[in-house]
Amino acid sequence: MLSGRDFTLKKYEDLCEAVSNSRYRNVTIAEYLEDTNAADSIILIRHDVDENIRFALDMAEVESDYGIRATYYFRTGKNVYVPDIIDTIASYHHEIGYHYETLDTAKGDMDLAIHLFSEELAMFREKYDVKTVCMHGNPLSRYDNRAIWERCRPDDFGLLGEPYLSLDYDRFAYFSDSGRTWDINRNKVKDTIERSRSSEGVRSSDDLINLINQGSLRDICILTHPERWPGTGLDYCYRYCVDLVYNLGKWVLVRTRRHNHGTGGSA
């Protein structure tokens, strides 16, 4: 059933094989931020673990088989923050990070959001050496969790950085599977990078694999959401339907905001 289909664990294995055999040096986001002057071409792989950690574990095992080290950002929900499984992922030498959404949780209260951020980061650091964090972008929320950095800086918390803020996207080509497509112009609401080098023309994972094989870009940053890459037919059907509903909701949301903006209303 899954043979040849995109956004499956097998297709992700094909992507890992391409990365492993490419001219790019694979490092974690923390490793890159510790040495941003590296002369060789870099490929960063980042995972936002939003819903169910078991899919992240599957990806981590595949990456380990190909000698790839990725960065995993975990939300604090019960199906995501599961220390026993995070321990296993860390044992494959992947970077463990915190996927924060405290401005959403605080309903826009900036002081409370920063307080919650400090508390939740401390919870992660009880077990893991967290050096970078990354915001969770809920397309249905009117808040942008990155706004907390208008009041403070990552190094105030002993952090090296935050991918949306700390990577030079004039240097990196950025590819995200948000909306079940690599196309930067479709189904993206908050997972956008204004300064990223053009990734137009890359719609499928095979397109991305071909680009990596060509080695024409200087540096690459790839974001995936592990639950979008299932290994079974049942999980695939479920995820396909969920993404279909999400994308319809995003389509309505984007057009509503454009209409409100065009008529002077609030979005």
Distance from C-alpha of 173 to C-alpha of 5, rounded to nearest angstrom = 25
**DSSP H or E run through 174:** strand 172-176
> Which residues of the chain are under the pLDDT cut of 70?
185-200, 250-267
pTM to 2 decimal places: 0.91
User: What is residue 265's predicted lDDT score, i.e. its pLDDT?
Assistant: 45
- Specify the 3-state DSSP secondary structure of 161: strand
pLDDT digits (tens, 9 = 90+) for 45-84: 999 999 999 999 999 999 999 999 999 999 999 999 999 9
- Specify the 3-state DSSP secondary structure of 204: coil
Cβ atoms of 71 and 30 closer than 8 Å? yes
Tokens of 38: 């590296």
User: What is residue 206's predicted lDDT score, i.e. its pLDDT?
Assistant: 97
At CA 215, angle to CA 212 and CA 219, rounded to 5?
Answer: 85
Residue the block writes with tokens 């339907």: 241
User: What is residue 97's predicted lDDT score, i.e. its pLDDT?
Assistant: 98
pLDDT digits (tens, 9 = 90+) for 178-217: 989 998 766 455 556 665 555 668 999 999 999 999 999 9
User: What is residue 267's predicted lDDT score, i.e. its pLDDT?
Assistant: 30
Helices 83-91 and 53-65, packing angle to 10 deg:
10
Domains in the chain, start-ordered, CATH in brackets?
A: 9-232 (3.20.20.370)
User: What is residue 190's predicted lDDT score, i.e. its pLDDT?
Assistant: 54
Query: What size, in residues, is the chain?
Result: 267
Distance from C-alpha of 60 to C-alpha of 231, rounded to nearest angstrom = 13
Give, rounded to a whole angstrom, the gap between the first and last alpha carbons of the chain. 42
Give alpha helix (H) positions in 36-171: 53-65, 83-91, 102-105, 110-125, 163-166
